[in-house]
Amino acid sequence: MNGSGHILIVDDDREIRSLLSRYLAEQGMRVSVAADRKECEAMVATGKPDLVVLDVMLPDGSGLDICRMLRERQPSLAIILLTALKEDVDRIIGLEIGADDYLGKPFNPRELLARIKAILRRTGQTAESPPSARLYFFEGFEADPALRMVRHESGAQLDLTGAEFDLLQVFLERPGRLLSRDQLLDLTQGRNRDPMDRSIDVLISRLRRKLNEHTEAMIFKTVRNGGYQLTVTVRTLAGGR
C-alpha cells in the first residue's frame, strides 16, 4: 500500500470535483473522480480506492443507498459522506449504515484532508502507521487490529464497519477508563465534538447490538454526563500468535 492512499471523489458538482481532486493531488494523494452512481460503481470495481468521499445527493441515486451498497460489497472500504449543513438526519443514517465519517457542506478542503488522513492512518492504509500486531481478548471475543477483525469463540465473525472497529479498539486499549464523547471523537476521528454530533452515540449503539448477538454481558456502561466505559476484562497478546 502506498503512503498516501487512493481517494475517489463522488460528486455531481464539476467545480467541487475539480477543486478537491487538484487539492488532494497537491498533497501527494492519488485521486479519481465520479459524477454519479454509475461512474462511482465502475471506479470502485476497477480503481480499487482506499477511501470514497461521497456526496449524499447524486442525480441517479442517493448517496446513502450507495454507501449501504459499498459497505455490503466491500466492508473494509472507508467512506466519508458529504451532506448539506442542516441534513443532520442524513448524517445519523449515514453512520448507521456504515459511513466512517461525514462532513457538512460548505467545508474547508483542509478539514476534509485531515479527516481523510485520520481514517487512512486508523485503517492502516498509510505507511506512517503500521497495523498493530497485538491481539485483544474479551468476553469470548478476539479483536485483531492487523486484520481489523473481531471473532467470537463460537467461530462467528462480526461484521463491523471501520468506524465501529476504531471505536472498539479505543476502548480495548483503555479498559475500565471512563471516556467522554469529546475524548472519543478526538481519539477516533481527530476532531472536537459539535454539540449536535451524535456519531459516538450511534456507533456505541451499533457496537452493543452486534456484540450482544453473542453475549449477554454488559460490555459498555453509559455514565450520565460522563461518557462511556468498557466494563469487561481485556487480555492482550503482543506480537501475534
For 176-187, what is the mean pLDDT?
88
Domain 134-238 grouped into CATH 1.10.287.130: no
Of the segments 6-20, 91-105, 157-171, 176-190, which one has the largest average pLDDT value?
6-20
Torsional sign, CA 65, 66, 69, 70: negative
Spatial distance between the Cα atoms of 125 and 6, rounded to a whole number of angstroms = 9
Strands 235-237 and 6-10, sheet pairing: unpaired
Q: Over the chain, what is the mean pLDDT?
A: 85
pLDDT at 129: 44
pLDDT digits (tens, 9 = 90+) for 101-117: 888 888 889 989 988 98
- DSSP classification of residue 157: B
Domain boundaries, the chain: 6-123, 134-238
Confidence (pLDDT) at 239 = 54
6-123 domain in CATH 3.40.50.2300? yes
Mean pLDDT of 219-226: 92
Contact criterion met (CB below 8 Å) for 81 and 56:
yes
Q: The whole model's pTM is what?
A: 0.63
The Cα 87–Cα 105 span in angstroms is 10
Q: Which of 56-60, 183-187, 194-198 has the lowest mean pLDDT?
A: 194-198
Rounded to an integer, the average pLDDT of 59-80 is: 88
Q: Which of 54-58, 63-67, 102-106, 208-212 has the least mean pLDDT?
A: 102-106
Indicate if the pLDDT at residue 39 is higher than 90. Answer: yes
Residues 9-35 pLDDT 10s: 999 999 999 999 999 999 889 999 999
- Model confidence at 124, pLDDT cuts 50, 70, 90, reads low
pLDDT level of residue 130 (50, 70, 90 thresholds): very low
Collapsing DSSP to helix, strand or coil, 6 comes out as: strand
Cell numbers standing for residue 161:
464497519
Nearest to 9 by CA among 85, 100, 39: 39
Question: Residues 15, 17, 21, 22: what is their CA dihedral angle, to the nearest 10 degrees?
Answer: -10
